Amino acid sequence: MGHSLGSVVAYDSLNALLNEDEANEHRLGVAQRTRLFLTFGSPLDKTAYIFSQHERPFAATRGLMAMAVQPLICSYRRFRRIPWINVHSRRDPVCDALRLYDDPAAEECAEHCVRNVVDPEARVPLAAHVEYWDNACIYDQLWSGLVASAPGGSAETTGLRSRPDEQPARHETPRSAADPAGERP
């Protein structure tokens, strides 16, 4: 799970772990043990675009080199069984939907592509980048993603949405005796 630059760090870290695990004959089972990769407010698409435009004559070579160290973009069959959910807001200037991390021509893409979800409550221009933390969307996605990827689990059993076009479920935070108004510090 990663927000903003933390999503870039999380992406690089997961790729490094997958590479290390593959070099060690999958002893740790990183791909099998990683149940969900959740990014929100992520600039990953923007960084990928910038690097793809830099020194255009070498873009194809750079793409092949990137695949060598980024397992998440090189093989759906081996590495993209990990569900990847990306939450974003159209009012967040830092992020966007992630479109450059999938190959629409790949047969497995429809089932294992990045699932982009719009946070309908991250609405204030510029501030939307930090509004995710106060909204239900990322928590709903985290919960439903973990339950759906658990053995015998499914997102439908949680009562939460499992498709990005559905409205997010609203959950009330229980009020405690110490905080009867239900306000956050």
154-168 per-position pLDDT tens digit: 545 544 444 444 444
Give phi and psi for 182, each to the nearest 5.
75, 20
pLDDT for the residue 168: 43
Q: How far apart are CA 121 and CA 136, in angstroms?
A: 8
Q: What is the mean pLDDT of residues 164-180?
A: 41
Name the pLDDT band for 50 (thresholds 50, 70, 90): low
Sequence-separated (6 or more) residues with CB below 8 Å from residue 15: 69, 70, 71, 72
pLDDT for the residue 179: 43
Tell me the three state secondary structure of residue 63. Answer: helix
Give phi and psi for 97, each to the nearest 5.
-65, 145
Q: What is the mean pLDDT of residues 94-103?
A: 90
pLDDT for the residue 56: 60
Structure pTM? Answer: 0.73
- Which DSSP category does 116 fall into? E
Amino acid at 36: L
H-helix segments, the chain: 5-23, 30-33, 44-53, 59-69, 71-74, 76-79, 109-112, 128-131, 136-149
Q: Beta strands 84-88 and 2-3: pairing type?
A: unpaired
What stretch of H or E contains 38? strand 37-40
Name the pLDDT band for 67 (thresholds 50, 70, 90): low
Average pLDDT, the chain: 78
pLDDT for the residue 139: 95
pLDDT for the residue 164: 45
Q: What is the mean pLDDT of residues 78-95?
A: 91
For residue 79, CA distances in Å to 28, 70, 96, 169 come to 14, 10, 23, 30
Neighbours of 112 (CB within 10 A): 18
For residue 167, CA distances in Å to 1, 14, 96 come to 22, 30, 19
pLDDT tens for 116-163 read: 999 999 999 989 999 999 999 999 999 998 887 777 665 455 444 444
